Amino acid sequence: MLNQFITDAYIGIGSNLQNPFLQVASAIEQLALIDESELHSFSSLYLSRPMGPPDQPPYVNAVAWLQTRLDAHSLLLKLQAIENEHGRTRDGERWGPRILDLDILVYGNYTIEDQSLSVPHPGIKTREFVLYPLHEVNKNLMIPNLGAIHRIQPRCYTNGLTKLSI
């Protein structure tokens, strides 16, 4: 379904399996091809410690800024299709290793809470691998119910987050 208006959507990207660097780079390329959307910009790639089980490889993370006419749920379906194309399986393990993980972090000024989608993403204010690349793509971003990214990001520890040089 299409929005009448263009909405800024910020997408979190992460991978720690099957050459994570290439998985994230490929996902960014595929985000640029989503119908009724345009890739405005994307962050650097970052190396981060995994959440959850400690016996998994580190993650490569980034954030992409899309401008889209798709409603949030239609955009989510497009993101899940990209994950599936990369071989993502949903085995129910929370915070386990992933070939590719795409999350809608922020969708305009909207707050959405239903069975399939929570926006802004519930972990956004405590996850360094989200806040630092999100701040990089838009230092002036206002996150609904949380405030300005430039006030939130400095309060989040880097926790070993490393910007990758390409």
Closest residue by Cα to residue 107 from 8, 1, 6, 38:
8
91 classed as catalytic? no
Given the residues 91, 101, 114, 127, select the one marked as catalytic.
Answer: 101
49 classed as catalytic? no
Given the residues 98, 127, 151, 155, select the one marked as catalytic.
Answer: 98
DSSP 125: G
71 classed as catalytic? no
Closest residue by Cα to residue 156 from 122, 123, 132:
132
Given the residues 91, 103, 114, 155, select the one marked as catalytic.
Answer: 103
Given the residues 49, 69, 88, 91, select the one marked as catalytic.
Answer: 88
Helix (H, G, I), strand (E, B) or coil at 96: coil
- Token look-up 């497009």 returns 78
Give the H/E segment covering residue 43: none
151 classed as catalytic? no
Active site residues: 88, 98, 101, 103
